[in-house]
Amino acid sequence: MGLLLFLCFVSISSLCNIGSSSTAGKVPYRDALLPNGDFEEAPKTSNLKKTVIVGKYSLPKWEINGLVEYISGGPQPGSFYFPVPRGEHAVRLGNEASVSQNVVVKPGSVYSLTFGATRTCAQDEVLRITVGARSADLSIQTLYSSDGGDTYAWAFKALSKVVKVTFHNPGIQEDPTCGPLLDHIAIKEMTPLRLTKGNLMKNGDFENGPHVFKNFSTGILLPPKIQDLISPLPGWIIESLKPVKYIDRKHFSVPSGLAAIELVAGRESAIAQIIRTTPNKFYNLSFTIGDAKNGCHGSMMVEAFAAKETLKVPFVSQGKGEFKTASIKFQAIDARTRITFYSAYYHTKIHDFGHMCGPVLDNVVVLPTY
């Protein structure tokens, strides 16, 4: 017994935690929809006034504030059409309205939220996401897919065991019901970044990314100004004004592994990473570009920048999911070197001009050369 106690004393194994409550509220790894994150669990009909939800707690699993509508996808009165590509229901956030939910998390972990969001009126629409003290305004003015399938990801670091996740429409429009449509909200705990052997880039294969919906995905837009660590795409910085798209193997053709990036916004969107380098030393940057086999045809060009070097790689997409590898040797100037990529041109799908697309980037590798 003495030995067992001694072992327990020196061991951090939870097996020894007999009678202790420290394992009680343990949160398992999460990569799933939030409770009623698809909004398919409807409010009681007695809590609906036409489409408007009446009562703060009438939408199952959620708290609502302001004018929130419970809508079914498809044609609406007044010649509106609400696209709901997954499931049948969604919510629409009117002027200054919000929906929120308390989510149990692990303090210290980074989580990303993946959610479908579409504007419903022609005005500038913004969706504000707040988790604890952190918040971001997402412009949903530009539609990237013509079927209402625009999906975004946003990340936060959990600072407490329970966080309140809020989606809010900060806008005030003439028509008080005008506002973003919100559907399918999932959460994923991000695995910490690791450097892998044989690559100075972190997450250079883009395998570490946000939750991807199983049934239907037009890719996940990663909004601009995402920085480094607290990111749905760990390690990477989304620069400029427009998002890049995270695409998965199930719904797109990707050069390798399960995921890649599609550069959907031309020069308006660059993706970058800052790596440690030794001044004056030479390095080899290599990467794969291609097309996602998603009807995106034409002459493409990916530009890559590293220290003083620029590489322009042309690629003619026939929409067949082809790809090729390019490389460039550069000499580091500093202890840190920024590696940046963007698409030189804008592209839309050949049979759908409302759907923005572009070249695919994958397998970014930097290695010293000798």
Ligand X SMILES: *[C@@H]1O[C@H](CO)[C@@H](O)[C@H](O)[C@H]1NC(C)=O
- Check the CA dihedral 248-251-252-257 and report its sign: positive
Nearer residue to ligand X within complex by CB, 100 or 286? 286
Distance CA 129, CA 138 (A): 8
Residue 149 Cβ vs ligand X, minimum distance, rounded to whole Å: 14
| Smallest separation (angstroms) from ligand X to the CB of 57 | 25
- For ligand X, give the closer residue by CB, 126 or 328: 328
Alpha helices in the chain, H assignment, sequence order? 2-10
| DSSP for residue 355 | E
Q: Which of 282, 345 has the CB closer to ligand X?
A: 282
CB of 215 or CB of 278, closer to ligand X: 215
Closer residue to ligand X (CB): 102 or 369: 369
Any contact of residue 196 with ligand X (CB under 6 A)? no
Site membership for ligand X, residue 95 (CB under 6 A): no
Question: Which of 344, 211, 347, 359 has the alpha carbon at shortest distance from 293?
Answer: 359
Contact between 173 and ligand X per CB under 6 A: no
From CA 20, how far away is CA 30, in angstroms rounded? Answer: 24
Is residue 139 near ligand X by the rule CB under 6 A? Answer: no
> Of the candidates 17, 135, 199, 284, which one interacts with ligand X according to CB under 6 A?
284
Name the DSSP letter for residue 95.
Answer: T
Binding of residue 281 to ligand X (CB under 6 A): no
Degrees to nearest 5, angle at CA 259 with 254 and 264: 75
Are 339 and 270 within 8 A, CB to CB?
no
CB of 215 to ligand X, least distance (A): 4
CA-wise closest residue to 347 among 222, 263, 261, 270: 263
**Beta strand spans in 250-359 (E):** 259-262, 270-276, 282-290, 298-306, 309-317, 323-331, 336-343, 347-349, 352-357
By CB under 6 A, tell whether 286 contacts ligand X. yes
Give the nearer residue to ligand X in terms of CB position, either 56 or 329: 329
Task: Work out how close the CB of 225 gets to ligand X at its nearest, in angstroms, rounded to a whole number.
Answer: 31
CB 284 to ligand X: min, Å: 4
The Cα 283–Cα 277 span in angstroms is 9
CB of 285 to ligand X, least distance (A): 8
Closer Cβ to ligand X, 141 or 215, answer by number = 215
* Helix (H/G/I), strand (E/B), else coil: 98: strand
Which residue of 214, 276, 320, 336 would you call a contact of ligand X, by CB under 6 A?
214
CA 250 to the chain's CA centroid: 16
State which residue, 87 or 319, has the beta carbon closest to ligand X. 87
Interface mask toward ligand X for 230-269; x: CB under 6 A: ----------------------------------------
182 half-sphere exposure, CB direction, 13 A CA radius: 35
The C-alpha atoms of residue 227 and residue 188 are separated, in whole angstroms, by 18
Tell the smallest beta-carbon distance from residue 286 to ligand X (Å): 4
Measured from the CB of residue 282, what is the shortest distance to ligand X in angstroms?
8
Size of the site for ligand X (CB under 6 A): 7
Nearest distance in Å: CB 180, ligand X? 21
**Cα 349 from Cα 356, distance rounded (Å):** 7
**Which amino acid is it at 58?**
S
Q: Which is nearer to ligand X, 67 or 285 (CB)?
A: 285
Task: Rule CB under 6 A: say whether 215 interacts with ligand X.
Answer: yes
Binders of ligand X in range 303-332 (CB under 6 A): 327, 329
Binding site for ligand X (CB under 6 A): 214-215, 284, 286, 327, 329, 369
